[in-house]
Chain A
Amino acid sequence: MASALHAERLRFVYGDRVAVDGVSFAIAPGEVLGLLGPNGAGKSTTIKLLIGLLRPQAGSIEILGMAMPQQRTAIQSRIGVVFEEKNLYPTLSGRENLAFFARLFGLHDVDLDHLLERVGLATRGRDRVSDYSKGMRQRLTVARALLNRPDVLFLDEPTDGLDPVSARSIRTLIREEADRGVAVLLTTHDMYEADELSDRVAFIDEGRILALEAPEQLKLRHGQRAIRVRYREDHEVKEATVPLDEAAGDQLQALLGREYLLTIHTEEATLEDVFVELAGRRLE
């Protein structure tokens, strides 16, 4: 399938600091690609390059068959962006904010009520954004990104700092859009969110992509699978971890036959573990 977005060897330098260094990836229609990395790893700069706010100093970007930044206006009319900041006009209502951006897209027949309903703001659309909670503002920025029914969505930390309910409603929306065929680039430092939403995950650190695969594959390839057993021995609770390798059968057999077992859990590597193995440091 032709990719909706293709970035090739992107490079961007702020002064003497290399922010993005040879980044390459592609996203297919309907695919969610999670860009996972710690703060300052180059996630936001990569997004800024892709949406046309920065011009790459090297490399190329193709979105929906068009070159960025050469065909920036045409591309921007078909993409949606959720910024990390809740950059809305606080003295305008939620509905007025959406109407303003809809007019910038040249759209005059957007069903704003339906959009507000999708993000759970149907009853608060006429309230000023200054009266919104952080979660409501973030949901409104998601609604703004969907105004033009985009073919590619760029989501920069869309659930950062949100309560679990708001975060879940935003994840549901992202999944719905991907199911509609929208290509989604999601940057986050939340490994659980990336694991839940992403079809593939790219680890980025110091401007370079360290690995790019489906979360499951990454965990299988770089993590260690094991079984953790808690058991009682001599009136004490003890714990043993049995790696799922060739010798696992014998070790488990010994534990099962010998002791009074309390719990048995399979233990998988997390994306965090994978990142630590790849980058040598934690995500946070």
Chain B
Amino acid sequence: MGGRANAVATIVAKDVRLFARDRFYLFISVLSLVFFGGLFWLLPASVETTASVGVHLPGVESLLEQGGRPPDALDDGFGQPGEHGLEVVSYGSSSQLERAVADGEEIVAGLDFRADFLERLTSGQPTTVRLLLAGDAPEALRPALAGAVRELASAIAGDEPPVVVPELDEMILGVDRSDAPLSMRDQLRPMLIFIVLLMEMFALASLVAVEIAQRTVTAVLVTPARISDLLAAKTLFGAVLAFGQALLIALVTGALGHAAGTVLLALALGAVLATGFGLLAGATGKDFIGIVFVSVVLFIPLMIPAFAVLFPGTPALWIRMLPSYGLVEVLLRVSGHGDGLAEVWQHLVALLAWCVAVFGAGTAVLHARLRRM
């Protein structure tokens, strides 16, 4: 092995040994894997797209006996059970319906029709319907139910709706995901992977800062090893550590089920990004508290894209400009929506550009710090 390669390999081997013997590093690494891997599997795996609504509609049975078609009307109003929409559960009395809504387990809302609802409706008189909502009912349910009741009333009365609802031209800005909402697992997967990467960023930063604080680095630099050897070793160690951890959490969360090559590429770039930030934090932090402070300062903005994808719509421009956005977006779109390299390449390019910038800054700052020792 050549002199430079020998020096790099020797420093990496030493760092692995130091890492393995440091209970704190091991603790946060194992904890992050177990905790976030476990959390992933505790999250809902599917999206609940049907809301169950209870209905108390006196006289519907007699209407059936008279040959009316209230079930169709109900279907018109509420849609077919099992489709995305409202599922109707019939209750025999107002009190039963109220209890069921308050209980909140079977239904999230209820429509309590007056006893003379059908009679007044068919005779053309105005009438009212009581809407009962559970505390955790979705906000959008209220207007949906109001519309459904109006449609139901029109159908039962045999009339067309009082106004012709205009056709809407729907314009989706960005990729249309309206028919493919993501489960909580899929939405949180990028965040979990990214947190694990950031944990390794912290571990690397701490390793670098301790080496500077204890001045062991000066002892290394009066051997034939050069600063560049030290930087190469730290980079190799940090990137492999971060990539390995990210790969494990990706395997645990099933992120490699689709377009694995693209996901692995994103993880590798993410590991380099975390390494760059780790070198930066390690070079600027003077001690453990300093490292924690710098890491938190970096941690918060880097986590914003992972939170932003939890909300519908395209994130704001400034969020899309953050270094971690490309990684989060690639992980979300590939492992969540099933996209491939063709759809996410521009995000990978942006991530690569950030990797070059952050890694370059990290090595430059650390190099300058080592030269000043």
Contact = CB atoms under 8 A, between A and B. Distances in A.
B224 A103 contact: no
Interface in B1-38: 3, 6-7, 10-11, 14, 17-18, 21-22
A53 B373 contact: yes
Interface string A74-111: 00110101010101111110001000110111100000
A91 B18 contact: yes
B207 to A, nearest CB: 11
Given A87-B216, A88-B216, A91-B22, A51 B17 contact: no
Nearest to B10: A103
A144 interface: yes
A73 interface: yes
A106 B218 CA distance: 18
A104 B224 contact: yes
Given A89-B14, A91-B18, A144 B219 contact: yes
Contacts of B177: none
B215 to A, nearest CB: 4
Interface residues of B, number: 23
A52 interface: yes
A110 B214 CA distance: 25
Interface string A54-84: 0000000000000000000100110101010
Given A87-B215, A87-B216, A103-B6, A92 B17 contact: yes
A106 B373 contact: no
A73 B226 contact: yes
A87 B219 contact: yes
A104 B224 CA distance: 7
B144 to A, nearest CB: 62
Given A83-B218, A104-B10, A144-B219, A77 B17 contact: no
Contacts of B221: 52-53
Most buried by B among A73, A89, A100, A104: A104
B89 interface: no
B134 interface: no
A77 B226 CA distance: 12
Contacts of A103: 6, 10
B220 interface: yes
Given A89-B14, A89-B18, A91-B22, A104 B225 contact: yes
B317 interface: no
Contact of B224 (A83, A87, A106): A106
B249 to A, nearest CB: 27
Contacts of B3: 73, 106
Contacts of A87: 214-216, 218-219
Nearest to A103: B10
Given A73-B224, A77-B224, A89-B14, A101 B6 contact: no
Nearest to B14: A100
Contacts of B11: 104
A81 B224 contact: no
Interface in B213-272: 214-216, 218-226
Given A53-B373, A85-B215, A87-B215, A79 B222 contact: yes
Contacts of A73: 3, 224, 226
A181 B190 CA distance: 63
B6 A89 contact: no
Given A91-B21, A100-B10, A53 B222 contact: yes
A96 B14 CA distance: 9
A61 to B, nearest CB: 14
B222 A51 contact: yes
Interface in B186-221: 214-216, 218-221
A52 B218 CA distance: 10
Interface in B163-194: none
- What are the 4 tightest A-B residue pairs by CB atom distance, in nearest-first order? A104-B223, A87-B215, A103-B10, A91-B21
A173 to B, nearest CB: 18
A105 B218 contact: no
A105 B222 contact: no
A81 B22 contact: no
A55 to B, nearest CB: 9
Interface string A107-126: 00000000000000000000
A76 to B, nearest CB: 6
A166 B236 CA distance: 40
Nearest to A14: B372
A103 B218 CA distance: 16
A102 to B, nearest CB: 9
Contact of B17 (A79, A96, A105): A96
Interface in A207-238: none
Nearest to A80: B222
Contact of A52 (B214, B220, B222): B222
Contacts of A91: 18, 21-22
Contact of A104 (B7, B17, B215, B373): B7
Contact of B216 (A81, A89, A96): A89
